Amino acid sequence: MIKNVHGNTVDFLGEAIVAGRYAVGASIAPEPLLCEELGVSRTVVRESVKSLVAKGLIHTGPKVGTRVLSSDQWNWFDADVIAWQSKAGLTPDFVRDLQDLRRVVEPAAVKMAALRATPDDIAGIEAAFAGMKRAVTQGGDYVTYDLRFHQGLLQASHNRMLIQMSKALSALLRTSFELSTAKKDGPASSLHLHRAILDAVIARNPARAERATNVLIDGAHADIEMVLGSRRRLPQVTEPAQGLKAA
């Protein structure tokens, strides 16, 4: 999606803050300097600052100016904040926080999906699974379909709060899927686990759906911990997904 001048300005400042180019407690560049540097009006700068205040990245006030807040005050359920962190690079602490969130959220969402999924929901998840299977056998983009599969399950919970959390989880899911595609036979070996989740949802069996989801998450958790323990660099999730070679 192409952003307007305001969106680009918010991105520029948000990325700089999340990447650590402004220290906690530091003031961002003065308004006239930002206008000159970015080639935008004062109105755009002021509106962008308001957006960053709403996202919890900065605080403004009389006598203190505009100050950068610590990361524990940022809105981590904001899609922009997640995107900026992903672009700056996923840190081990951030990934582990997301893993904890996934363990809490996804099994519960899949249980709800087993009770609430509509025929259209199931058709969408089936299409995503078919795309994963096709990528394994014929080559191509596996990661995008894997992401659609899991997002489809969260959507099928028909819980607005859980669906909102899926935006935060997307960065972890994308990282996990990139790691699985890098493992020999990783995607192929996980297909039956995905099928087990989908079959349980179709059968309206929430307990079975939850168990199957936990098995899949445990495997992904082990893969990520192995990479974090080895100090290898985590995949860059802002780049296009790597396609599989045909089996």
**What CATH number is attached to the domain comprising 222?**
1.20.120.530
Q: Is 26 a residue whose pLDDT tops 90?
A: yes
Q: Are residues 176 and 201 in the same domain?
A: yes
Q: Are residues 212 and 110 in the same domain?
A: yes
Q: Are residues 185 and 63 in the same domain?
A: no
Q: Are residues 106 and 195 in the same domain?
A: yes
d(CA 127, CA 144): 12
Q: Are residues 35 and 100 in the same domain?
A: no
Which domain covers residue 29, as residue numbers?
5-73
Question: Which amino acid is residue 217, in one-letter code?
Answer: I
- Residue 65 three-state SS: strand
Identify whether 242 is part of a domain. no
Q: Is 1 a residue whose pLDDT tops 50?
A: no
Q: Are residues 62 and 123 in the same domain?
A: no
Identify whether 129 is part of a domain. yes
Q: What is the rounded average pLDDT of the residues 65-87?
A: 89
Q: Are residues 145 and 195 in the same domain?
A: yes
Per-residue confidence (pLDDT) for residue 239, from 0 to 100: 60
d(CA 76, CA 21): 19
Is the pTM value of this prediction over 0.95?
Answer: no
Q: How many domains does the chain have?
A: 2
Tokens of 94: 């951030």
Q: Are residues 224 and 186 in the same domain?
A: yes
Q: Are residues 95 and 171 in the same domain?
A: yes
Return the CATH number at 12.
1.10.10.10
Beta strand 65-68 with 58-61 is antiparallel
Name residue 182's beta-bridge partners.
none
Q: Is 12 a residue whose pLDDT tops 80?
A: yes
* Higher pLDDT among residues 247 and 145, named by residue: 145
